[in-house]
């Protein structure tokens, strides 16, 4: 039965199964992870709009991610999303069996690790992948158990999309571009979601929930577990920083496409998920992606006269295929799109 692969359906032992253990050179070294009291926290309800734009610009240049409060999604809805997600992962194996697949191109699937067909070492994670736009096309195939799953998650998807479009507008303005510039380039935005479940792990120093990676899309909005930290980001190329959850804050990651559109001024952040020996952890990541035919290249206004753009022009379809043909933690995929 396929779900025997799922971490959420098996009783865990006191030692980590070998297929999850990373080699010595590729372990999280949790004792070396720092905390950073300056992680950008942006209040989207601030009446000082110019200051909000300046804060977004600074966060995108220096960190490649930021946290947002007063984002317009109610605390009640965020709590419902987390509760129904956890309820899903606690369903009996025969219920989860209906949705299990390790085929990466499948638009609605329950799976484990990252890409079990390709990887040699697994990650300590189960996840439910859902495509979310247009909702009426995909919701019928979403889980109908728990009973409220479709209603709660579709409400959240609508609200997170509106927030994402607002943020893309603010990012455009912060680059000195028209507010709708990025949205126009990206086309009819695709949207999908990963509902992540990281069980308690007997030896968290030996494995990852997800290893270091950047996101191939434009913008990722993460609803983190409010009680258990696990997200870490890379600063200055060598220092991992723990991103501790703040009440009702969402985490916004820039993806590779914003780095390309900004001609490298804004950073697509390297990040990873680590696991916990004492507590299980959940997170819900929403990905806003260009449509496949969108042509991505640095905005002309951001390329100085006489300079060549940092990245060549390409379609998102070309980029996404290249991203998935590699290992998750290889060199930055954008490196392959440099030059004319």
For 170-219, write each residue's pLDDT tens digit: 999 999 999 999 999 999 999 999 999 999 999 999 999 999 999 999 99
Supply the pLDDT for residue 152: 98
Supply the pLDDT for residue 1: 42
Summarize the confidence of residues 153-168 as an average pLDDT: 98
Query: Which residue did the predictor score with more confidence, 104 or 91?
Result: 91
Contact 206, 248 (CB under 8 A): no
Upstream peptide bond of 146 is cis (omega within 30 degrees of 0): yes
Summarize the confidence of residues 143-152 as an average pLDDT: 96
306: confidence class by pLDDT, cuts 50, 70, 90? confident
| Reported pTM | 0.95
Supply the pLDDT for residue 281: 96
pLDDT of 10 strictly over 80: no
Question: Order of strands across the sheet with 231-235?
Answer: 34-35, 239-242, 231-235, 271-273, 210-213
Which residue reads 């969108």 in tokens?
Answer: 294
Domain boundaries, the chain: 32-337
CA 40/CA 167 separation, integer angstroms: 15
Supply the pLDDT for residue 116: 58
Supply the pLDDT for residue 3: 47
Average pLDDT, the chain: 92
pLDDT of 7 strictly over 50: yes
Summarize the confidence of residues 220-230 as an average pLDDT: 96
User: Of the ranges 19-33, 111-125, 263-277, 298-312, which one carries the lowest mean pLDDT score?
Assistant: 111-125
pLDDT of 63 strictly over 60: yes
pLDDT of 2 strictly over 60: no
For the domain covering 32-337, report its CATH number.
2.60.120.330
CA 265/CA 267 separation, integer angstroms: 7
CA 195/CA 88 separation, integer angstroms: 10
Supply the pLDDT for residue 5: 79
Summarize the confidence of residues 278-290 as an average pLDDT: 97
Supply the pLDDT for residue 118: 64
158: confidence class by pLDDT, cuts 50, 70, 90? very high
- Burial class of residue 312 (count of CB atoms within 10 Å of its CB; 0-12, 13-18, 19+): middle
């Amino acid at each position: 039965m396929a779900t025997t692969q799922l971490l959420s359906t098996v009783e865990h032992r006191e030692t980590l199964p070998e297929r999850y253990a990373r080699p010595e050179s590729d372990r999280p070294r949790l004792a070396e992870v720092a905390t950073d009291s300056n992680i950008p926290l942006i209040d989207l309800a601030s009446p000082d709009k110019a200051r909000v734009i300046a804060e977004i610009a600074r966060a995108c240049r220096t960190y490649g991610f930021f946290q947002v409060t007063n984002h317009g999604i109610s605390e009640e809805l965020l709590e419902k999303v987390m509760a129904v997600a956890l309820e899903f992962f606690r369903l009996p194996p025969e219920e989860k069996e209906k949705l299990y697949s390790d085929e990466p191109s499948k638009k609605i699937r329950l799976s484990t690790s990252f890409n079990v067909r390709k990887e040699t070492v697994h990650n300590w994670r189960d996840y439910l992948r859902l495509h979310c736009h247009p909702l009426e096309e995909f919701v019928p195939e979403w889980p109908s158990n728990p009973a409220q799953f479709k209603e709660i998650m579709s409400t959240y998807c609508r609200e997170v999309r509106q927030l994402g479009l607002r943020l893309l507008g603010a990012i455009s303005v912060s680059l000195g571009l028209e507010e709708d510039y990025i949205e126009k380039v990206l086309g009819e935005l695709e949207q999908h979601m990963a509902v992540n479940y990281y069980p308690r792990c007997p030896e968290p120093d030996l494995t990852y929930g997800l290893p270091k990676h950047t996101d191939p899309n434009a913008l990722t909005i993460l609803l983190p577990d409010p009680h258990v930290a696990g997200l870490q980001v890379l600063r200055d190329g060598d220092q991992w920083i723990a991103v501790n959850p703040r009440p009702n804050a969402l985490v916004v990651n820039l993806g590779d496409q914003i780095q390309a559109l900004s001609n490298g001024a804004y950073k697509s952040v390297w990040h990873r998920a680590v696991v916990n020996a004492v507590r299980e952890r959940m997170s819900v990541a929403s990905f806003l992606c260009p449509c496949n035919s969108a042509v991505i290249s640095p905005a002309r206004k951001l390329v100085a006269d006489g300079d060549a753009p940092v990245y060549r022009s390409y379609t998102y379809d070309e980029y996404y295929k290249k991203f998935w043909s590699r290992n998750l933690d290889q060199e930055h995929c954008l490196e392959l799109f440099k030059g004319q």
